[in-house]
Amino acid sequence: MSAPFDELTAGRRAWIARAGLTELATTIGRPGREAVAARPDLLARVDQHAASIRESLGGTLLDPVALAGYAAAIRDAAREAGDALADWSQPSWAMLRLLAVCTLVHS
């Protein structure tokens, strides 16, 4: 049986967060950056999402655990709504939001 997330040590929470963010960088970050390179108009949209995330999570230095939890919630809601998170020719709000999380991780 596993412990609830809030009962894990800070180190274990950070490890889980890094693993989730690494997976996000592979599934969303890499193809998203390729899409932005091909369609520069997406960059402004991603930047707006990043600013909104930064504001909603309260600051300039964002905690990786908070970012990972936020990204997981967006990803799960999108998948429950039937968004495959894969069509970069017409990226959904969730795809742009998740790509913004990736950019925040690397900023």
Print the domain residue range for 19.
9-105
Segment 24-41 shows an average pLDDT of 95
Whether residue 4 is contained in a domain is answered as: no
Whether residue 3 is contained in a domain is answered as: no
Whether residue 29 is contained in a domain is answered as: yes
Of the candidates 4, 53, 74, 15, the residue with the CA atom closest to the CA atom of residue 85:
74
Tell me the per-residue pLDDT of 43-96, one tens digit each, with 9 for 90 and over: 999 999 999 998 888 876 678 888 999 999 999 999 999 999 999 999 999 999
DSSP one-letter string for 12-44: HHHHHHHHHHHHHIIIIIHHHHHHHHH-THHHH
Whether residue 76 is contained in a domain is answered as: yes
Predicted confidence band at 3 (pLDDT cuts at 50, 70, 90)? Answer: very low
Whether residue 68 is contained in a domain is answered as: yes
Q: Is the pLDDT confidence value at 8 over 80?
A: no
Whether residue 21 is contained in a domain is answered as: yes
For the chain, what is the domain count? 1
Q: The whole model's pTM is what?
A: 0.86
Whether residue 1 is contained in a domain is answered as: no
Segment 23-41 shows an average pLDDT of 95
